[in-house]
Structures are given as structure tokens and as C-alpha cells.
Amino acid sequence: MRHSETMTTVKIPIGISSCLLGERVRFDGGHKNNSYIAGTLSDYFEFRAFCPEMAIGLGVPRETIRLVKDERDGDTRCVGVKNAEMDVTSRLKTVAAEQSHWVAHLSGYIFKKDSPSCGMERVKVYFNSNPERSGVGVYAGELMEEFPCLPTEEEGRLGDAGLRENFIKRVFMYDRWRQMIARGPARQDFVEFHTRHKLIYMSHNQNGARALGRLVASISTLSQEDFAEEYLRQMTALVKKPATRKNHVNVLQHIQGYLKRKLDAEDRQELKETIDQYRLGYLPLIVPITLLKHHFRREPDEFIGNSYYMEPHPKELMLTNSI
């Protein structure tokens, strides 16, 4: 595929909770080193490690903190487990705001799950000593509110093949977007970006893909700033939920249509059966994609050749081998 020849070798900047890289910053002086992140992903991502609890001066070792719902106003506060008078909510919010200058230049962020400062979701919130998994870490919540389009994930969820593939795909897409914006794009650059990602959008949500297409069709009626803001908002919402097998099958069949007059009956039947085996769950996505790539090497097509669908991230990550 033509675009793979120019895939950047510059590492993508990613924020991360310091403990996930093996830094001993946890309350007990330990860490939560994640071998997949520190090993495999470090070949492609340049990590910017940060621990908000250390940054506000809690130190190591330190008293553990937790989220507690205030009985008076219903607000969630971050306080000490032993000393509830130690309220660090405002300090965590302030330190989050102070990181905006470098977070604005990231293409993703990996948070520590279950953390009262860094957890993305389902963090324990205590009310009358009873915990409910309904909270968001204070630091993570502030960053996600300020940068709603930044791809974020928790290290625990990266163990799920579908969530892992989707997060990394979103990171690469967002990084391509950031690079385009940094170059000062013309309207045609936005059209090209959309065209090259169109099949990815279709694999996530076909109605959403059509809505994005309508937005691109109206590009001349909007200021470039308004268009870029709305496009990024819709793109983020569209790809946040992982693509489904059913939608992948629809996209694979759509791509297959570009070959219907170029393949003989035997090759057409083999391709049809391979896509059907993927539909039934007997084969991973990489198999029909590899077969399609084989045919398009012999019968090139400009639209397919420029599309990111069959190579949304480096093949060495092998993310489509298990979905």
C-alpha cells in the first residue's frame, strides 16, 4: 500500500501514568510496570510519564487516598483513607491544569486503572463506607474534560484485543490529524484525510460515516476553523467505540467490489469464502485483509491504495491477528 511507504518513523508522543513504566511512585513505594506498554508499544510511542500524586507533594510512601461522596452537597472529593481531613481534590485539579501546555502536544494518554487520581472510569467512590464503581480519577477527569478528543485508555483495558487495537488505531489517526493541522492545511487536505480514512469510519458506524461525508461535502460553506473543530468532534465520537465484525464484513465486501471484474471465478470464490469465514468467527481479520492486499498488488486501485483501512497502524504490532 502506497501510504505504508511513508509511515512515520518518528515516535508518537503519549502521556502515561508513571507507575506503568516501572517508576516507584505508588503509595507503598512500588510500581505497576506493564511489559506490553514498556516493551512493544515503546517501539512506536514516546512516553511522557507523569504522576499527579507525586506532583502535588504527597511523597513515597504516603497515605492512600480515595474518592468519597460528600454527604452535604453530593460532590465527590479525593481524601485520605485514614485522615479524611486531608482533601487533595483542588490540588489534583490544579496540577492537571498546569500540565495543559504539554498534554496539548500529545496524541494519546494511558492512565492507571482504579486510581483515585488517574482512573478513567469505574473508580470506587465511597458513600457511608459503601463503595460504588462510578467514579473518575480527579486528574484524569480534568484532562479528559479539557481535551475531549484526545485518545485515552487504561492499562487494564489494553488486555482486551479489541479495545487495544481500537485505542492504538485512534492514536495513529489522531497523530495524523495533528500533523496535518500543524502543516496549515488547505481544504483539499481535509478532503484527502477523510477519503483515506473513509473505510475505517464505515467499519465503526456506517451512519456516522455518512454524516462525516455530508460534513465534508459542506466544507466550502464553513470557516476552516469551524470545519476542523466539528470534523474532529464527529470523528472522535465515531471511532471511540470499537468496530464490529458485521461492519468489517460490510467494508471487506465493499472493497471486494473493486476487484469483481479483475479476478477469475476461482479467486472470486476464494475471497468470498474467506470473508465468510471471518464473518462466522473462524478466521481473524488479518486473513481476508492479507488476501485482499495480495490481489490489489496485482490489480492496483488508487482509492484502495491510499486508504488506511487495511493498514491503520504498523503491521509489526499484529493488532488485527486477534480480532
> Taking Cα atoms as reference points, which of 182, 189, 174, 199 lies closest to residue 227?
189
> Taking Cα atoms as reference points, which of 188, 52, 168, 172 lies closest to residue 118?
52
Q: Tell me: do 131 and 194 sit in the same domain.
A: no
Q: Is residue 2 part of a domain?
A: no
Q: Is residue 107 part of a domain?
A: yes
Q: Is residue 65 part of a domain?
A: yes
- pTM of full prediction above 0.85: yes
Last residue of a domain, one of 158, 188, 211: 158
Q: Is residue 298 part of a domain?
A: yes
Last residue of a domain, one of 158, 174, 197: 158
Q: Tell me: do 227 and 319 sit in the same domain.
A: yes
pLDDT of the chain, 323 residues: tens digit per residue: 445 444 557 999 999 999 999 999 999 999 999 999 999 999 999 999 999 999 999 999 999 999 999 878 889 999 999 998 999 999 999 999 999 999 999 999 999 999 999 999 999 999 988 899 999 999 999 999 999 999 999 999 999 999 999 999 999 999 999 999 999 999 999 999 999 999 999 999 999 999 999 999 999 999 999 999 999 999 999 999 999 999 999 999 999 999 999 999 999 999 999 999 999 999 999 999 999 999 999 999 999 999 999 999 999 999 999 99
Last residue of a domain, one of 127, 158, 189: 158
Q: Is residue 1 part of a domain?
A: no
Domain count, the chain: 2
Q: Tell me: do 252 and 168 sit in the same domain.
A: yes
Q: Tell me: do 111 and 214 sit in the same domain.
A: no
pLDDT of residue 243: 97
pLDDT of residue 274: 98
pLDDT of residue 128: 84
Q: Is residue 126 part of a domain?
A: yes
pLDDT of residue 3: 52
Q: Tell me: do 26 and 122 sit in the same domain.
A: yes
Q: Is residue 3 part of a domain?
A: no
Q: Tell me: do 149 and 185 sit in the same domain.
A: no
Q: Tell me: do 152 and 170 sit in the same domain.
A: no
CA distances from 60 to 18, 20, 63, 262 (A): 13, 16, 9, 65
Q: Tell me: do 175 and 145 sit in the same domain.
A: no
User: For the chain, what's the residue count?
Assistant: 323
- DSSP state, 237? H
Q: Tell me: do 116 and 47 sit in the same domain.
A: yes
Q: Tell me: do 80 and 108 sit in the same domain.
A: yes
Among left, alpha and beta (phi > 0; psi -120 to 50; other), residue 158 is alpha
Q: Tell me: do 85 and 199 sit in the same domain.
A: no
Distance of CA 117 to the CA centre of its chain: 20
Span between the terminal Cα atoms of the chain, in Å: 21
Q: Is residue 18 part of a domain?
A: yes
Q: Residue 77's domain spans which residues?
A: 8-158
**Count of C-beta atoms within a 10 Å radius of residue 207:** 8
Q: Tell me: do 318 and 199 sit in the same domain.
A: yes
Read off φ and ψ for residue 21, nearest 5 degrees.
-100, 10
pLDDT of residue 9: 73
Helix or strand holding residue 152 (H, E): strand 152-154
